[in-house]
Structure 1
Amino acid sequence: MTTDAAADPVAWALAQAGSDPVRARVLSALARRASAQPPGALRERLVARLMARAQAAPALPAPAPAPAPRRPPSPLATLVAELQAMGTDLRQVQAHQPTWRALRAQRRLAEVAAPVPEHLGPLNSQVLVARALQQLHALAPDYLQGLLTQVDTLAALAPLQAAAAPADKPARKTAAPRRR
């Protein structure tokens, strides 16, 4: 057996590999390395290592870890499960969302396009905003829809921020004048 491994390590390794593909690749690589060496001490050591690897028992896979104890689902997991249960209803909402956005943008533009009193002057903020939104609608309607979505979100959050702010904020004490 030793003479077969020394004469042709690659063929010997293929015969010893068995059904484990990982073991076959390791033995094949070691056999190719041994066959590439000229006869001598290094080749003999590689063949000996090849034979030792081939005779070693194949390693068994590590057992799967025990499942972790069940914890109650997080609120986010509960919400995701509820949304998945809604399925088709949620898809219908998503299908009509672009239409609602376009209608909201048109309504906002109609509010802005309302006649602005002329006596306000050209640099009045109301006049400037009206012009900017109209030009934005002409140049980039998708950007306008995104901007209006952000403005609507901020407008919805404003009452929440006002409610969360402490009502009785103590006034700052004024510092006494310094004496020199």
Structure 2
Amino acid sequence: MDDALLDPLAWLQARAEADPVRLRVLQGLARRAAAQTGALRERLVARLVQRAGAAPVPLPARPAAPPASPLATLVAGLQAAGPELRNVAVHRRTWGALRVQRRLAEVSAPVPEHLGPLNSQVLVARALQQLQGLAPDYLQRLLTQLDTLAALAPLAAAAEVDKTPKSPKPARPPARKAAPRKR
């Protein structure tokens, strides 16, 4: 402890410390002790010697890695599937463009002239044709979302049917308030 009292930093450097975090803490304590004088320096050096001599605290064990989720397993299987899936990804854009053209052909079918310029069917056909010229990628995404919503509509209708009560109870008549009795 006499060596540590004379020069705490040199004393600490002479000791071998494997844990870098623990070494930094001890270095900070040694710097504080070196900057002080008198009884405070003695207390800080005593604490430095005590901490340096104490057994290092073991780090808490890391929890075991959670088992792979089913989604992670599926993704790993798809990545290992090979060139077939890569070919599908390459041609996806082409298929999307063909689907958009087919949908536009359905929408652009001849509209009767007597419907007028403000008819919703006429307006939608014009808007989609304009959108195809201005932003074809946006139109493709929009049609994909509309197709998804159209596919989900029957499921939503079935869910609504399931929510309705099978045997509704008749409503109770409202309770009558008793008239105050006269004495």
- For the criterion TM > 0.5, the same-fold answer is yes
The number of equivalent residue pairs is: 170
Partner of 2:103: 108
Partner of 2:177: none
CA shift digits 1:23-51 (9 cap, x unpaired): 322211111121122x1222111111001
Pairing of 1:24-103 with structure 2 (within 5 A) = 24-37=23-36, 39-62=37-60, 76=71, 79-80=74-75, 82-103=77-98
2:150 aligned to which of 146, 151, 155: 155
Partner of 1:3: 2
Asked if the contact 1:113–1:130 (Cα under 8 Å) also holds between the matched residues in 2, the reply is yes
Q: Note the aligned Cα RMSD (angstroms).
A: 3.3
Asked if the contact 1:9–1:34 (Cα under 8 Å) also holds between the matched residues in 2, the reply is yes
Asked if the contact 1:10–1:31 (Cα under 8 Å) also holds between the matched residues in 2, the reply is yes
CA shift digits 1:49-93 (9 cap, x unpaired): 00111111233444566x69x98x865456445434434333322
TM-score, length of structure 2 as denominator length: 0.74
TM-score, length of structure 1 as denominator length: 0.75
Q: Secondary structure at the match of 1:130?
A: helix
Q: Which moved more, 1:44-53 or 1:28-37?
A: 28-37
Letter of the 2:116 partner, please give it: G
Q: Secondary structure at the match of 1:58?
A: coil
2:128 aligned to which of 130, 133, 153: 133
Letter of the 1:43 partner, please give it: R
CA drift of 1:166 comes to 3.2
Q: Secondary structure at the match of 2:84?
A: helix
CA shift digits 1:125-158 (9 cap, x unpaired): 1101001111212222221111000011122223
Gaps of 5+ in 2: 172-183
Q: CA 1:164–1:83 in structure 2 vs 1: closer, same or farther (change >3 Å)?
A: farther
What is the rounded CA distance, in whole Å, between the counterparts of 2:125 and 2:96 in structure 1? 19
Letter of the 2:49 partner, please give it: M
Asked if the contact 1:14–1:24 (Cα under 8 Å) also holds between the matched residues in 2, the reply is no
Q: Which moved more, 1:106-115 or 1:95-104?
A: 106-115
Q: Secondary structure at the match of 1:166?
A: helix
Gaps of 5+ in 1: 176-180
What is the rounded CA distance, in whole Å, between the counterparts of 2:58 and 2:116 in structure 1? 85
Partner of 2:176: none
